[in-house]
Structure 1
Amino acid sequence: MNPLARFGSAGRDAALFLTLACFWGTSFVAIEVGLPYFPPMLFAAIRYAAAGAIILGYAAVSADRLLPRGRDEFLSVAIAGGLIIAAYHALLYLGQMHVPGAVSSVVVSLSPVLTAVFAAIVLDESLDRFGVLGFLLGIAGVVVVADPDPANLLSADILGIGLIFLGCVTFAFGAVIGRPLRVSLPTESMQAWAMLLGAVILFGASFARGESVASVEWTVPAVASLAYLTLVSGVVAFLIYFTLLDRVGATEVNLIGYLEPVVASTVSWAILDHAISGQTLVGFLAVFAGFALVKRDAFRARLGLGDSPSPSTSSHGYDAD
């Protein structure tokens, strides 16, 4: 018997939501734990090669179609694999070589705001003065977290946050330009092929940077980090994500991004003794306020205070974990 059945549908959804937030929030800490033992590109490549292979196997037995067909589906896989998996994670892992996972998770929480802005620019979706204010609040939040020093703009912290921010830009741009494509490939199959393509690109980038498998230190923390990122934050978390996407929709699932910094900060403090600063907390609150302004119509609709908004993401949405 499903252990969540006795809580009813709303209780199951809430339990899945919190579980997914925990799995994806702790992924930032797991990356931080593993990076001292892996070259960054190779670390990301191995993670997504393994996770993609497992999800492809799951799709083979659960989805009604495994292979993409037609121009739009192949293009969708290319966009997701190239931008959302490869480019985003390359920049994320490089950035996390300079900043803690908790700080990284705060910067990444800007992704939904950037996605709304790109949708307004690329797809001509509406972004009124409140949306613009939300975007500016989100950017201000990241600036507060970065705390730039004009005398030292090339410091490690600013470099790391800048790389992660650029990763968020590539993630948001990829999420938007793929929306107009007509895709009927099941989400599991799409995610699997995107992960595998992204892994191939990351392996290529790793080779170009001169990274070597021989440089990996196969310590207990290294193996534990890779296993957690692959199996828990990767495979299990994405299976939960598929379920929630079908049950509650993309707007609610996007809110997971605002629990992830809370989880990342708590776990980082408990495991690595990294306390999040008050300044970082202020920056996170600014980013969340920006998201609330950008998505205020969706929130009002969910609370029964307005009309239901048109969908802003496709069924093949991704989260910036």
Structure 2
Amino acid sequence: MIRNLLLVASLGLCWGFNWVAVKLALAEIPPWTLRAVGFSLATAIMFGVLFATGTSPRVPRRHWFRLAIVGVLSIAAYNIFSAFAQLTATTSRAAVLSYMMPIWAVIFARIVLGEPFDRRRQIGLALGGAGLIALGLPLLRSGELSIGLLFAILSGVFWAMGSVVLKRWPVDASAPVITTWQLGLAAILTGIGMLIFEGVPTALPQLPSTWAGLAYNVLIGQALASTLWFVILGRMPAGIATIGSLLVPGVGVIGATLILGERPTMWDWLGLLLIVAAAASVLLARPVVPPAAGKPA
């Protein structure tokens, strides 16, 4: 049991510090390029894991369209919007707002799946709304609202949409296989975006911190964290495994404070507590769809 809890805590640390890693990498690498490079390398690593473990990467042809839709929403769109969020907003606020995804999932599940708003979900929605007010009202009064905060919220919205689609139209394949193909699709889409909006990279990063951020994002934030998630799901119920994701925004805020020198306000900390409580109320109330590999930033 202790070993399993350590795995859950490790997952939260991997995903949480990934927000800091992406911020460091964005110092010299534009968003589309960062995601294209990261997804390409992570896809290669995940395919290597599949072949090393003897896992077939095959997916039924009839399920390719739904797999692509989920990959576009939960991987490509989530990660692009979360990257752009950090260009104009603090990492701590972006991490907290992005992790309202369980709240949006409840709303979409009600619309698409007809899932009822039971008491836990109602409490979660109320806490999530309070968290948004705690974060947004002081910024509105001080004129510090930025487009980055909207991007952070939209990243969570897209991830939630992808999760509900996957639950409504499941793919007949294992979680590692689904994630690997989703990463591959995201690599193609972000690669096209890179060519259209940023062009082919002509220079390598110069700062060691940029290389460190990129390496962490690919090796730990995506490849290792994805592997940990699948190991955890195989050992314990999804509801308990999800505790690891609840650690992510808190770790992201603490990491941004210690490493990036950000100084969250009292309202930022209150918003964090409310939104984490909202996510816990929702996630621990029902089985959840396993998040895909590139989710945390």
* Length-normalised TM-score, structure 2: 0.91
Instruction: Pick from 84, 93, 96 the counterpart of residue 94 of structure 1.
Output: 84
Q: 1:295 to 1:222 in 2, by over 3 A?
A: closer
| 2:233 corresponds to | 245
Structure 1 pair 75–95 and aligned structure 2 pair: CA distance change class (3 A) = same
Q: Which residue of 2 aligns with 1:60?
A: 51
- Cα displacement (A) at 1:138: 0.7
Structure 1: gaps of 5 or more residues: 1-9, 299-308
Separation in structure 2 between the aligned mates of residue 82 and residue 98 of structure 1, nearest angstrom: 23
Q: Which amino acid in the other structure matches residue 80 of structure 1? A: V
Residue 215 of structure 1 deviates from its aligned partner by 5.6
Q: 2:9 aligns with which of 12, 15, 18?
A: 18
The 1-side partners of 2:22 and 2:291 are apart by 22
Which segment drifts farther, 233-242 or 205-214? 205-214
Mapping of 1:68-87 within 5 angstroms?
Answer: 68-72=59-63, 74-87=64-77
The one-character-per-residue Cα deviations of 1:9-56 (angstroms, maximum 9, x if unpaired) are: x11111101111111100001111111101111101111110111101
Cα distance between partner residues in 2 of 1:80 and 1:226: 25
Q: Aligned residue for 2:140? A: 149
1:107 aligned to 94, 97, 115, which one? Answer: 97
Letter in 1 for 2:255: V
8 Å CA contact 1:63–1:189 kept in 2: the answer is: no
- CA drift at 1:100: 2.2
Task: Look up the SS of the partner of 1:96 in the other structure.
Answer: helix
Q: Tell me, in whole angstroms, the C-alpha distance in 1 between the residues paired with 2:240 and 2:216.
A: 25
The residue identity in structure 2 corresponding to 1:200 is I
Who is 1:318 aligned against?
A: 292
Q: Is the 8 A contact 1:39 1:215 kept in 2?
A: no
Q: Residue 251 of structure 1: CA displacement?
A: 2.0
Q: Which moved more, 1:137-146 or 1:37-46?
A: 137-146
> Where does 1:132-147 land on structure 2 (aligned, <5 Å)?
132-146=122-136, 147=138
How far does residue 57 in structure 1 lie from its aligned partner after superposition? 1.3
Q: Which has the larger radius of gyration?
A: 1
User: How far off its partner does 1:151 sit?
Assistant: 8.3
Q: CA RMSD in A?
A: 2.1
- Cross-structure match for 1:303: none
Partner of 2:112: 122
Does residue 228 of structure 1 match 2:202? no
* 1:7 corresponding residue in structure 2: none
Summarize the Cα distance change of 1:53–1:77 in structure 2 as closer, same or farther, 3 Å threshold: farther
Structure 2 residue ranges without an equivalent (≥5):
none
* Residue in 2 that maps onto 1:219: 207
CA offsets 1:141-187 (integer angstroms, 9 cap, x no match): 133223342684xx5x4311101101110110011011132433122
**Runs of 4+ that moved beyond 4 A:** none
Query: Structure 2: how far apart are the matches of 1:243 and 1:122?
Result: 30
CA distance in 2 between counterparts of 1:160 and 1:174 reads: 21
Choose 240-249 or 262-271, whichever is displaced more: 262-271
Match of 1:259 among 233, 242, 247: 247
Aligned-pair identity in percent equals 24
Query: Is the 8 Å Cα contact of residues 39 and 216 (structure 1) preserved in structure 2?
Result: no
8 A contact 1:265–1:275 mirrored in 2: no
CA contact (8 A) 1:63 1:186 kept: no
SS at match of 1:213: coil
Q: How does 1:281-300 map to 2 (within 5 A)?
A: 281-295=269-283, 298=285
State the alpha-carbon separation in 2 of the partners of residues 216 and 142 from structure 1: 39
Give the deviation of 1:84 after TM superposition.
1.0
Q: Secondary structure at the match of 1:179?
A: helix
Q: Deviations over 1:217-269 (max 9, x none)?
A: 34211111111110011111111111112222332233223211222222222
